[in-house]
């Protein structure tokens, strides 16, 4: 099989891979294909993803990871993506599942002030519609950067429930710690978090608090430890705060023994 760095390069440049129309591009700026391919490589290198794994993508958006995954998973692997934005899920189902039936999407009507303001369900307390131990890998990419700590705790519990023993989760976040504060205080940050503010939760845009959320690293980590998940050391710290990093957000891998 092609090595993952080569596959990433090919996927990032593959103009045959569909991309959602501009009106559905609600998952951030940047090159849609290149970022998806980058996260596929991270799932393989950092989270040990294998072609036969069962993957759950919580907050899957518009298929940025699912599309490159179609070229990596084999006929025994599978992918389930869930998200509260119904048109994004509909686009993914029509454009991906029709060709790759083992790559599936579900809309969950979870309330979020920016993404799904009229949603019927609170996130914390709403179990995901999958059985215990159903997945080998779970990911939440750029999702905890838009939620509060109660939701982090809830999803940590769901990750612990849904992972099979030995499975792991890749989650991105903005983790406030001493080096991040220093870089922000030096004016190097790419987001307007106030390094002098009191934690454990920080908002870069006070008028739209859930547009970008950071947590004290210890408070974030504790939510996973509480559910028996262990963070694989070291976390990979991103460049959001102005410190050096090859990713934008911080990347954590949580393992279930
Ligand atoms: C910045 S986008 C990232 C999407 C995708 N993970 C990616 O990397 O392309 C954030 C996603 O989180 C989803 N989201 C918002 N509230 C959520 C919740 N309570 N549970 C799960 N996902 C949520 C949004 O609908 C959106 O698709």
Q: Which CATH number fits domain 38-255: 3.30.590.10, 3.40.630.30, 3.40.50.150, 3.40.120.10?
A: 3.40.50.150
pLDDT in tens, 8-33: 999 999 999 999 999 999 998 899 99
Evaluate if residue 251 carries a pLDDT over 70.
yes
Confidence of residue 35 (pLDDT cuts 50, 70, 90): very high
Atom of ligand 1 nearest to the CA of 140: 6
pLDDT for residue 13: 95
Nearest-angstrom CA–CA distance, 210 and 204: 9
Mean pLDDT over 147-156 rounds to 98
Token pair for residue 217? 């690293």
47 and 137 Cβ atoms separated by less than 8 Å: yes
pTM over cut 0.75: yes
Q: Whose CA is nearest to atom 2 of ligand 1?
A: 27
pLDDT for residue 1: 57
Confidence of residue 234 (pLDDT cuts 50, 70, 90): confident
Nearest-angstrom CA–CA distance, 187 and 59: 31
Q: What mean pLDDT, rounded, does the chain reach? A: 97
How many whole angstroms from 147 Cα to the centroid of ligand 1? 9
pLDDT for residue 221: 97
Residue of 28, 60, 61, 141 with the most ligand 1 atoms within 8 Å of its CB, for mutation: 61
Mean pLDDT over 146-171 rounds to 98
91 and 62 Cβ atoms separated by less than 8 Å: yes
* CA geometry: angle 77, 75, 133, nearest 5 deg: 25
| Ligand 1, CB cutoff 6 Å, lining residues | 27-28, 58-61, 64, 83-85, 110, 112, 115, 123, 141-143, 146-147, 151
How many whole angstroms from 83 Cα to the centroid of ligand 1? 6
How many whole angstroms from 25 Cα to the centroid of ligand 1? 12
User: 162: closest CA among 131, 193, 195?
Assistant: 131
Question: How many CA within 13 A on the CB side of residue 157?
Answer: 11
Evaluate if residue 228 carries a pLDDT over 80.
yes
Evaluate if residue 63 carries a pLDDT over 60.
yes
* CA geometry: angle 126, 114, 211, nearest 5 deg: 105
Residue of 146, 204, 210, 240 with the most ligand 1 atoms within 8 Å of its CB, for mutation: 146
pLDDT for residue 138: 98
User: 135: closest CA among 75, 61, 55, 65?
Assistant: 55
Nearest-angstrom CA–CA distance, 81 and 104: 6
Atom of ligand 1 nearest to the CA of 114: 15
Evaluate if residue 155 carries a pLDDT over 90.
yes
pLDDT for residue 233: 77
The pairing of beta strand 78-83 with beta strand 103-107: parallel
Residue 158's SS3 state is helix
pLDDT in tens, 175-225: 999 999 999 999 999 999 999 999 999 999 999 999 999 999 999 999 999
Per-domain boundaries in the chain: 38-255
Token pair for residue 178? 């001493």
pLDDT for residue 29: 87
Atom of ligand 1 nearest to the CA of 28: 1
């Amino acid at each position: 099989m092609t090595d993952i760095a080569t596959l990433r390069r090919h996927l990032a440049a593959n103009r045959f891979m569909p991309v959602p129309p501009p009106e559905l591009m609600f998952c951030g700026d940047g090159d849609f294909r290149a970022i998806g391919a980058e996260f596929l490589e991270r799932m393989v290198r950092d989270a040990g993803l294998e072609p036969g794994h069962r993957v759950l993508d919580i907050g899957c958006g518009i298929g940025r990871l699912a599309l490159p995954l179609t070229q990596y998973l084999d006929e025994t692997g599978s992918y389930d993506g869930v998200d509260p934005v119904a048109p994004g899920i509909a686009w993914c189902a029509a454009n991906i599942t029709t060709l790759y039936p083992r790559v599936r999407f579900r809309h969950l009507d979870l309330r979020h002030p920016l993404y799904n303001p009229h949603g019927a369900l609170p996130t914390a307390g709403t179990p995901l519609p999958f059985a215990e131990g159903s997945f080998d890998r779970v990911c939440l990419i750029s999702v905890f950067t838009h939620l509060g700590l109660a939701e982090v705790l809830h999803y940590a519990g769901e990750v612990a429930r849904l992972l099979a023993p030995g499975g792991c989760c890749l989650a991105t976040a903005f983790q406030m710690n001493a080096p991040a504060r220093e870089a922000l205080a030096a004016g190097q940050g790419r987001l307007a978090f106030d390094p002098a503010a009191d934690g454990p939760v920080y908002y870069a845009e006070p008028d739209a608090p859930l547009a970008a959320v950071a947590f004290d690293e210890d408070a974030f980590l504790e939510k996973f430890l509480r559910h028996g998940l262990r963070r694989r050391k070291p976390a990979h710290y991103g460049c959001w705060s102005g410190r050096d990093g090859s990713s934008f957000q911080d990347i954590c891998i949580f393992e279930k023994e």
